[in-house]
Structure 1
Amino acid sequence: MASDRKLFNFEEVEKHDKTKDCWLIISGKVYDVTSFMDDHPGGDEVLLSATRKDATNDFEDVGHSDSARETMKEYCIGEIDESTVPAKRTHIPPQQPNYNHDKTPEFIIKILQFLVPLLILGLAFVVRHYTKKE
């Protein structure tokens, strides 16, 4: 990388997230791909979806050719200050302790949660009473 390449912080790079002004972070480098938007084989939507984050995984998951990797060099404008890139957020789905698979109304579920243990207890009492040896 030439010595005239700049070190960018994440806040500066994430501002460039439009078709007419698009920068990407890939493998620690910053790429201004604005002039490549119309030529990208996957379309400009693919590039736009990779903005405002570290797009390294997005880039690597596609399996770009050696030719594509070579072409990238002409769009590189600097490096990212890794200390300014936010930690990756992991999606944690909301907890659903009593997921209602069959869409039974909630009040019926509550009644059954109350009655079933009572019915089991009552059944145990009846069985014990009638099987009791005298």
Structure 2
Amino acid sequence: MGGVDGGEGVVYTLADVSKHNTPEDCWIVIGGKVYDVTKFLEDHPGGDEVLLSATGKDATDDFEDVGHSTSASAMMDEYYVGEIDSLTIPTRTKYTPPNQPHYNQDKTSDFVIRLLQFLVPLAILGLAVGVRFYTKSE
């Protein structure tokens, strides 16, 4: 369902927009709208690389994270070429950490206590044998 270049009410797929990804032909998607920013690349305060890296995806979050001014948002109207078919934009999946057993501090403490209950008597026994052996050899 590709649109025709330029025009009001034209709806583009993300695949259509993604084809325009060079300094000679650069389109981006912001807020559900498609913009041909080719003529603005040289004038973009953040550099042309920023705009070129925004092709092929929904750049709305990137645009908002930078904190563009209202005049920057108003300037975008002259670069508008159509709407994006939102069904063609992949949905973001929320990161779900892997299921891991809960770390139980008490279990760790119990293990250390049991280990010490085994090692301390063993150390005392070894010390006693060592002292006895040392005193016998004199």
Would you call these one fold, judging by a TM-score over 0.5?
Answer: yes
Tell me which of 8, 16, 19 is aligned to 2:23: 19
**Structure of higher CA gyration radius:** 2
Post-superposition Cα deviations, 1:42-65, rounded to whole Å, max 9, x if no partner, equal 100111121111000000111111
| Alpha-carbon distance, 1:122 to partner | 9.0
Gaps of 5+ in 1: 95-116
Identity of aligned residues (%): 53
Q: CA RMSD in A?
A: 3.3
User: How far, CA to CA, are the matches of 1:53 and 1:83 in structure 2?
Assistant: 13
Gaps in structure 2 of 5+ consecutive residues: 1-6, 99-111, 126-138
Question: What TM-score do you get using the length of structure 1 for normalisation?
Answer: 0.65
Indicate the structure with greater helix content: 2
Show structure 1 runs of 4+ deviating over 6 A: 91-94
- Amino acid across the alignment from 2:22: K
Of the candidates 76, 80, 85, which is equivalent to residue 84 of structure 2? 80
Quote the Cα distance in structure 2 between the aligned partners of 1:93 and 1:51: 29
1: distance between equivalents of 2:56 and 2:32? 14
What is the alpha-carbon distance in structure 2 between the residues aligned to residue 22 and residue 93 of structure 1? 36
**TM-score, normalization by structure 2:** 0.64
Aligned twin of 1:109 = none
